[in-house]
Structure 1
Amino acid sequence: MNGDKEKYGTGPWTGMRFSGSQGLKPNSIYTYGLVYNQVDVYYGFQLINSSVYSRLALNPDGVVQRLTWNYRTGDWNVYLSMPVDNCDIYGLCQGYGSCNIGNSPVCGCLDKFVPKYPRDWDNADWSNGCVRETPLVTSDCQRGDGFLKYPGKKLPDTRNSSYNGNLTLDDCHKVCLENCSCMAYANSDNRNGGTGCLLWFGELLDVRDLTENGQDLYIRLAASEISSTTPQSGTGKKNRGKVIVALPILAGILLLGLGVALYFWKKKKPRQQEEPLKWEGEQNAWILFREGRALELIDTVLSDSCYLFEVLRSIHIGLLCVQQSPEDRPSMSSVVMMLGGESTLPQPKEPGFFTKRNLFFEEFSSSNQTLASANAISITMLQAR
């Protein structure tokens, strides 16, 4: 504190250090730790070498210093000091802003967020922070929202948060998704691959980019934002591996079943005048995706048992595979990488099989209905690449 103004926040304890204390590392002078239980909450340290004198001091101006005694000079040396730079100033970039000391200016909005008042930001006034590019739909948050992974961050201020040390990251994701007030989650302990759960409610404050020892923060976004960027559910690599293997197998089974059904249907169906296919409504994935309504493709029975952002990514990749130009379509090896990777997907172009009604003929001819094909040919057989 500096008077009644907060000066510096260490960030939450991560099991090895405070999230925002970059200089706090294992060393040869002292060990340190945080005691947190139902009775006590305190930070402590113990000297490794009893011949060394060291103390932790908080100066009147709000600076925390680790001091060690120098026998030769008979004075205290500053071993560690916090805050270190401007990005350590508490809440400098305000809500949903992130500070990067390597940038000029240092403040910027988190991905998928924009300045609340852009003109103020042009004048280096960040006091009003950032807002979402796409607002959340609070009435349907469990079905319409997802989470995006923000790596390498100092975790936000925890005064509006809750903690559970027994939950996994997957559990943390589910709990946060079910609570419309939950805006973000992360592991509370980074040891042993990550354990425990931290949930944030309300605006995220005091975030900064870290070059080392940064944490993974998962922030709630609208489904339309998740489908157009890199999705991250908080599920482990093991689950993503299952998706990579299962989707190609499932696609093969579906294609085989479709081929057999089509064969018997054509064998039994009497020859008659060919009727145009109907592509309206939920059957047309391309139109629904383009209009931001891809979630309507999901069967309501299955929607509660799957991760919506993974389904949206699969639909996105599927549309990339059926683009009109073969040169635009990804190879199967690229598809597998996209299913299990975390790269941003390109926007799909119009599918090769996509057709539109010829409104001229529909309006002026009731007896001869025609279709205008994007390819000027009829597609009789689909071949996978």
Structure 2
Amino acid sequence: MEGFAIILLCSFMLSNLTLSITVETLNSTQSIRDGETIVSEGGRFELGFFTPGSSSKRYLGIWYRNISVQTVVWVANREEPLQDLSGVLKLTNQGILVLLNHEGSTVWSSNSSRPARSPVAQLLNSGNLIVKEENENNPESFFWQSFDYPSDTLLQGMKLGRNLITGLDRYLSSWRSPDDPSHGNFTYRYEVGGFPECILREGSVVQFRPGPWNGLRFSGTPELKPNSLFTFGVVFNEKEVYFSYKLRNSSTLSMLVLTHDGFWQRHKWIERTERWEVYVTVQMDNCDNYALCGSYGTCTASNFPECSCLKGFVPKFPEKWDSKLWTDGCVRKTPLNCSSDGFIKYSGVKLPDSRQSSFNYSMNLEQCKNLCKKNCSCTAYANLDIRKGGSGCLLWFVDLVDIREFTENGQEIYIRMAASELDQTESITSNKKERMRIAVICIFSIAVLILGLALVLYLWRKTCNKKPGLLTPISERSSNIKIQKEDLELPEFDLATIACATNNFWTANKLGDGGFGSVYKGILKDGQEIAVKRLSKSSSQGLYEFKNEVMHVAKLQHRNLVKLLGFCIQGDEKMLIYEFMPNKSLDFFIFDQSQSMSLDWPMRYHIINGIARGLLYLHQDSRQRIIHRDLKAGNVLLDNEMSPKISDFGLARSFGEKETTANTKKVVGTYGYMAPEYAIDGLYSIKSDVFSFGVLVLEIVSGKRNRGFCHPDHQLNLLGHAWRLFTAGDSLELISSPIRQTCNTSEVLRSIHVGLLCVQKSSEDRPNMSNVVLMLGSQGPLPQPKQPGFFSERDLVESSSSTTRHKLLSPNDYTVTLLGAR
């Protein structure tokens, strides 16, 4: 008995004694036995055998090393615990980790899909246990890593989500209890189907979801936001969707944990008290219980009772509702009638469950509304991304479930309602409208008074001596302008107003010159900044182009088209007044070596998508189908948020609904952007603009002009160069050096691919803009592009003494007009 007691005592001492192996790696000739550990190079984490809580079983795991409370962050053999201290961890010649029991049987193993030559296992200071080739440091080439198979803890740098190519699902599962690390009742994972969402389940029952990611945060967790401790975000592309976070201070110890009782919490180690503090629990109150109020019900934590029906809805079973049994939800007061339905806007809410929704990243909110309106099954729509005023489209086609209201940081959603319910809602604001009507009457009266004063001022100015530089109005009766002002459907500005706004067209206010004439910056009396385009008497663009631009732009309303505020026709003066674009034009940034540094890839990708949406509106959604005919970097202006706006419609043409192609004897446009069939044969269509857009995309990616592009290895233009790289599989070489550090490789490659599809030689092969927008915003496969137009190499000797046509283009890429008999 005495000898047996000594054996027990030794076993107990051995179970609490660990010997650290000094090397970081484990090769196929080494092993780790119970009582031995591997320590990461930075000393933060330790790998070895442990016993949780009051259990007597042994597990292989990873824990924080230098803190007083053993905190296990990963467990290997969760479902197959060892019954004694005989466990051994080995690495096979095939690069597979195996955990053996006292009988030499495998109780747990990793996996590897590739043959190994000299495999090693290593514990990184991030807490990630990896298997790799001995000298391999590329994470993409690792045979296996513990970060791909989380337990209940998400560490910095781990991905919570799914690889959409391989199907690898990185999700958390709770411990069964503090003493038992086997898979518990709760899981937290990204579920894909419609728009991906993180879902916390107890067994198969959904318990909580934080809401869809909106670019800044999950819409249902406004309290969980980047702060001084950490930053986080979601990556969603054609390859994967995942959530991850990064600590701002590398010395901070913090982790996200799915607790055994189903709470999603962030823990932070407090050195002073030597304990883990719950920094935040994501589920804050009763309203976080999934679908607490049923379909079309909304939960407000500050109300009693918490649940209520959305406007226009009533409880499905009133007697249950009165008893606080809300799960059956609400039903519409008035059935929908597809043709006359409208939408009610709800603000400050958690968006409904989106797992069965449809989404599109490249649509704007108006396009999203129109798409929902056309589909009678569509129940609601919202923006996908709330940054920069909102973008993208999220559509629901099922009953809306799990909505709650917030006092701040909620989102907006537009819910389909019957017309009669809309009328009732509008009647609530009738008093407000009456007040507005009175205000409008007052404003109109004041405007009449101001107009009278302006007339007096005008007559007074006619009698005054002219100041230097001041324009002298000439009677419109004596001018030769043949434009009916009433046809222009735009506000008319008085010449005196514009002269005052531009300080009498002072040279310092001049923004630049173009084919139309000079452009000046001005400030109206109400403080609004404007850009004034003043027709030059020597301009090659005359009255026809002036009227053409006014007639077209007046009818266009889109966030990616420049807004025309009005015009001025007085005497010999003809001017167009636009909203002012503080960041000039796109060519100012992409073709200037110093300025291009300020335009990173996310901005460029945002600009590409914005231009595409603007063209789609022109070709498809505007009242008339409009061909721009002069799309180029100089005609894309940038607002204060660097959002693109297509400008200069002096050469635009309208198409009837059934028209597809037109012919002209007057070829107008800019070299380098014109489609082959247009430049050679005078044929133009929406596919002409598509070609110009493709050129623009390749210029934005490369930072090089198509026209004038040169390369030491060949005499191709930019399109030919891009095609040559694409066919060789070297498209990444096209990327402009200022954006190499900020670029998203998949987005860049997709943009180049789409650009080459747009510049194909045959117009029939090019996609239309609706397909372009879809291709840019989706992750699906793309068709292979054919050879671009103008692909053949140039003869430098000939080009140096080229025809008159080539000499017409100025260094500033002004628009040129080519005349020729046909």
Q: TM-score when scaled to structure 2?
A: 0.27
SS of match in other structure, 2:206 = coil
Alpha-carbon separation, structure 1, partners of 2:308 and 2:424: 21
The answer to whether the aligner puts 1:28 opposite 2:228 as a matched pair is yes
| Cα distance, 1:225 vs structure 2 | 1.3
| Cα distance, 1:71 vs structure 2 | 1.3
Q: 1:187 aligns with which of 360, 383, 393?
A: 383
Identity of aligned residues (%): 52
Aligned residue in 1 for 2:109: none
CA contact (8 A) 2:222 2:410 kept: no
SS of match in other structure, 2:373 = helix
Runs of 4+ in 1 over 4 A off after TM superposition: none
Alpha-carbon separation, structure 1, partners of 2:256 and 2:225: 15
Q: 1:78 aligns with which of 270, 273, 278?
A: 278
Which is richer in strand? Answer: 2
| Cα distance, 1:3 vs structure 2 | 2.7
SS of match in other structure, 1:7 = strand
Alpha-carbon separation, structure 2, partners of 1:65 and 1:82: 6
Alpha-carbon separation, structure 2, partners of 1:185 and 1:62: 31
Q: Note the aligned Cα RMSD (angstroms).
A: 1.6
Aligned residue in 2 for 1:214: 410
Aligned residue in 2 for 1:146: 342
Amino acid at match of 1:222: A
| Cα distance, 1:228 vs structure 2 | 2.5
CA contact (8 A) 1:97 1:207 kept: yes
Amino acid at match of 2:418: A
Aligned residue in 1 for 2:374: 178
Amino acid at match of 1:5: V
Q: 2:355 aligns with which of 154, 159, 164?
A: 159
1:264-289 deviation digits (Å, cap 9, x = unpaired): xxxxxxxxxxxxxxxxxxxxxxxxxx
Alpha-carbon separation, structure 2, partners of 1:128 and 1:31: 38
SS of match in other structure, 2:202 = coil
| Cα distance, 1:227 vs structure 2 | 2.2
Alpha-carbon separation, structure 1, partners of 2:222 and 2:370: 31
Aligned residue in 1 for 2:185: none
Residue segments in structure 1 that go unaligned for 5+ positions in a row: 232-243, 249-385
Alpha-carbon separation, structure 1, partners of 2:281 and 2:329: 28
CA contact (8 A) 2:346 2:413 kept: yes
Alpha-carbon separation, structure 1, partners of 2:260 and 2:419: 47
Aligned residue in 1 for 2:333: 133
The answer to whether the aligner puts 1:8 opposite 2:208 as a matched pair is yes
Aligned residue in 2 for 1:113: 313
The answer to whether the aligner puts 1:95 opposite 2:291 as a matched pair is no
SS of match in other structure, 1:62 = coil
Alpha-carbon separation, structure 2, partners of 1:200 and 1:62: 29
Q: TM-score when scaled to structure 1?
A: 0.58
| Cα distance, 1:12 vs structure 2 | 0.4
The answer to whether the aligner puts 1:202 opposite 2:202 as a matched pair is no
Aligned residue in 1 for 2:728: none
| Cα distance, 1:163 vs structure 2 | 1.1
1:335-382 deviation digits (Å, cap 9, x = unpaired): xxxxxxxxxxxxxxxxxxxxxxxxxxxxxxxxxxxxxxxxxxxxxxxx
Q: Give the length in aligned residue pairs.
A: 230
Residue segments in structure 2 that go unaligned for 5+ positions in a row: 1-200, 428-439, 445-822
Q: CA, structure 1 residues 193+146, in 2 after alignment: closer, same or farther (shift >3 Å)?
A: same
1:207-266 deviation digits (Å, cap 9, x = unpaired): 0011111111100011111122239xxxxxxxxxxxx9xxx9xxxxxxxxxxxxxxxxxx
| Cα distance, 1:74 vs structure 2 | 1.9
Amino acid at match of 2:383: N
| Cα distance, 1:49 vs structure 2 | 0.6
Alpha-carbon separation, structure 2, partners of 1:192 and 1:146: 26
Alpha-carbon separation, structure 1, partners of 2:219 and 2:273: 34
SS of match in other structure, 1:170 = helix
The answer to whether the aligner puts 1:227 opposite 2:433 as a matched pair is no
Amino acid at match of 1:191: R
The answer to whether the aligner puts 1:104 opposite 2:300 as a matched pair is no
| Cα distance, 1:4 vs structure 2 | 2.6
Q: 2:269 aligns with which of 69, 91, 97?
A: 69
Alpha-carbon separation, structure 1, partners of 2:357 and 2:260: 29
**Bigger mean CA deviation after superposition, 204-213 or 1-10:** 1-10
Alpha-carbon separation, structure 1, partners of 2:426 and 2:356: 27
Aligned residue in 1 for 2:260: 60
1:144-168 deviation digits (Å, cap 9, x = unpaired): 1110101111000011201111010
Alpha-carbon separation, structure 2, partners of 1:127 and 1:33: 32
CA contact (8 A) 1:2 1:60 kept: no
CA contact (8 A) 2:263 2:281 kept: yes
| Cα distance, 1:69 vs structure 2 | 1.1
Larger-gyration structure (1/2)? 2
Amino acid at match of 1:149: K
Aligned residue in 2 for 1:241: none
SS of match in other structure, 2:232 = strand
Alpha-carbon separation, structure 2, partners of 1:115 and 1:135: 15
| Cα distance, 1:63 vs structure 2 | 0.7
Amino acid at match of 2:217: R
SS of match in other structure, 2:379 = strand
| Cα distance, 1:26 vs structure 2 | 2.4
| Cα distance, 1:76 vs structure 2 | 1.1
Aligned residue in 1 for 2:243: 43
SS of match in other structure, 2:220 = coil
1:156-183 deviation digits (Å, cap 9, x = unpaired): 0011201111010000100000111110
Q: Summarize the alignment of residues 200-349 of structure 1 with structure 2, pairs less than 5 Å apart.
A: 200-230=396-426
1:103-158 deviation digits (Å, cap 9, x = unpaired): 11100000110000111111111121000010112xxx1x2111010111100001
